[in-house]
Chain A
Amino acid sequence: MAYDPDPSPRPDLDDTGAYNNSHRAFLQAFLSHSVLTADEIKPILAAVLSAHEGRPMLEGDITAPDISQYVTAVNSRLSSLDLEIRSTRSQTDRTLIYALVNTTSDPLTQLATTRTPDEISYVKRVLDAMFETNNTRSREIMAVSSVEAANLAKVGRNRQSNANEDGEEASQAKNLSLNEAEKVLQECVEEGWFLRSRAGYYSLAPRALMELRALLKETYNEPPDPEDAEDEGVTRIRDCEGCREIVTVGQRCSDRECGCRLHDHCTQQFFRNQTGERKCPKCKEEWTGNSFVGEKVVTRTRPSGRGSGAGPSRRTDETADLED
């Protein structure tokens, strides 16, 4: 054959050791897919092993321990680069999701290199709206409607002064056009950072939660002032009492003062063994199941009858007070 498809491998691609081409190919799959579910990984790992072993492997041959073994091997190489393959479960349907994430709290290199400073500043405004404006003690929406997101394309006056508190950033941030803002949002959705709900709300996708876990708490939770005994601090980001992952969609204790949060699925796990009335694991108040975290805060309390047809652009009394 004139066409030689497989010249002898290069010496630095050691294929014999504990870390070989199958691991490299597995890692490459994570570079080309931003997020992978366990079910999506199985055919990929089957293809990797088929290529490596030289005999066909089927998706069904791949077990959960196989996946963990590969993830562990790859992570041992990635840790010195501050990268890691992490997994989490979807907050809504508990699907197991994997993604290659940065472990440093420095911003994602990829966003810093591919976005303009004005675009980054816009994403920051959207995050602030998610976790501050739309995340008050009485209303933990933790999502931003399409209309709000569009309004954030402009650098608001109060935003600017906020940014000036710490001097350096955002003070020179310029407005984005509506089109530009729309494009940034769309790309964030495609890259697995944001979710866009049917009602048009943007919230953080599992990949973002995995990567930003620590950063979100550090940014939006304010520890109590040690000098001031009265000061309790502000906790805007809370973990699930069941699975210990961040809750941005789920249920909360009916007592507003109580910090207990649970994912919908986690309530089932949690209350399975309880007989009689469900009680908050923290304060023992009745767990009603109708105090929400997430866009349901808005969509579930809306005048009924319109279903999902009533988009977020409809300015109801419910949304009016969110938009000062």
Chain B
Amino acid sequence: MPPISRKRRAPANEESETTISFTQQRNQQRASPDDEDDSVEEEQGNGSGSLNQLSKGLVRYALACEYSRMPIKRQDINQKVLGSHSRAFKHVFAAANAQLVETFGMEMVELPNREKVTVRQKRAAAASESQAKTSNQWVLTNALPPKYRVPEIIAPPRIPTLEVESAYVGLYTLIVALISLSGGSLPENKLERYLKRMNADQSTPVDRTDKLLARMIKEGYIVKIKDSSAGEEIVDYMVGPRGKVEVGDDAIMGFVKTVYGDGAMEDLEQRVERSLGIAERRVPSQTQRAVNGNGEAGPSTQTRRPGRPRRRSRSEQERGEESE
């Protein structure tokens, strides 16, 4: 609920959190831009600027952002949670994430950077030295074992009704799966054909198809790329940052299995893995899938449980060894 205080109450959340009084002035004076890690070191108590209080603020903020599917942005954390303590970011972030995992079984996972796909974007990226290595945006993801991630327990979040929202989850999973299985990029006319085959080219249970795609783009499930460097304009769809984090390879695999049913051919999984490029993504690759700037297999290999090394499944490992 909004602040309805009109009488001598403390000002609204944001103000009160940004005007936290700095309890240890000397930290502020001593800390140089480089030692951003130690400004909260000695403050373990429960004072307003303590690690506990700041971490609590970030946990609450992260929950609120996820509620509305807004990414958790570093800039907003600094402004709305940390205020004058923005130097303590790393400490507070680590503490908040530990608390999110321990209490909620959820963790903040950094969104991958937007891929540079068009010639112009690549040139621009190459030209700018200052290109950030990280996106500085996170989303809250489920860290519990998959057996707990079932619709009987966690319904798709609210808005507008459960049925519509379930349909939305199904549709973005479908489209992200289609793009991934096409090798990471899907021309617009092909997507239109797929949708037409499912009778979803004009409208869906969620919304008109164009509006639906616009929402998926806005929320970062997919990215629309227009490239006219070759003369005529080519429009492609790729998987967006949130799509990579939320719709991982295992979700796509599960989706394909559901579609093919129990009678799926035995090598279905391998075929899907091949389509998803799971094996090839392990090695630095020149393919479009791995253009994440840092030359390593992109964050897409970390789907579902990102933020820590992905445990390779046995057969994946074997296949990897074969190809090496």
Closest-by-CB residue of A relative to B318 is A2
A21 touches B1 (CB 8 A): no
CB within 8 Å: A-B pair count:
196
| A52, B305: Cα distance in complex, Å | 20
Shortest Cβ distance from residue A58 to the other chain B in the assembled complex, whole angstroms: 12
- Interface size bucket, A side? 35 or more
Indicate if A178 sits at the interface (CB-CB under 8 A). no
* CB contact between B2 and one of A10, A108, A166, A218 (< 8 Å): that residue: A108
Shortest Cβ distance from residue A254 to the other chain B in the assembled complex, whole angstroms: 31
Indicate if A12 sits at the interface (CB-CB under 8 A). yes
Residue from A4, A29, A187 whose CB has the most chain B CB atoms within 10 Å? A4
Contacts known (A21-B148, A25-B148); A80 close to B61, Cβ less than 8 A: no
Q: Which residues of B contact A242 (CB under 8 A)?
A: none
A81 touches B13 (CB 8 A): no
Surface stretch bound by A, among B25-33, B114-122, B149-157, B293-301: B149-157
Indicate if A5 sits at the interface (CB-CB under 8 A). yes
| A10, B142: Cα distance in complex, Å | 12
Q: Which of B253-276 contact A (CB under 8 A)?
A: 253, 269-270, 273
Indicate if A234 sits at the interface (CB-CB under 8 A). no
Surface stretch bound by B, among A63-71, A112-120, A277-285: A112-120
Indicate if B311 sits at the interface (CB-CB under 8 A). yes
A6 touches B147 (CB 8 A): yes
Surface stretch bound by B, among A41-49, A134-142, A195-203, A301-309: A41-49
Shortest Cβ distance from residue A127 to the other chain B in the assembled complex, whole angstroms: 5
- The number of chain B residues with a CB under 8 A from chain A is 66
A21 touches B144 (CB 8 A): yes
Contacts known (A4-B314, A44-B153, A113-B61); A124 close to B145, Cβ less than 8 A: no
Indicate if A107 sits at the interface (CB-CB under 8 A). yes
Contacts known (A13-B105, A190-B160); A113 close to B6, Cβ less than 8 A: no
Q: Which of A87-117 contact B (CB under 8 A)?
A: 105-115
Q: Which residues of B contact A123 (CB under 8 A)?
A: 1-2, 4
B158 touches A190 (CB 8 A): yes
Closest-by-CB residue of B relative to A107 is B3
B64 touches A109 (CB 8 A): yes
A111 touches B1 (CB 8 A): yes
A190 touches B273 (CB 8 A): no
Closest-by-CB residue of A relative to B272 is A3
Could you tell me which B residues sit within 8 Å of A by CB distance?
A: 1-14, 16, 52, 56, 59-61, 63-68, 70, 80, 98-99, 101-106, 142-148, 150, 152-161, 250, 253, 269-270, 273, 305, 308, 311, 313-316
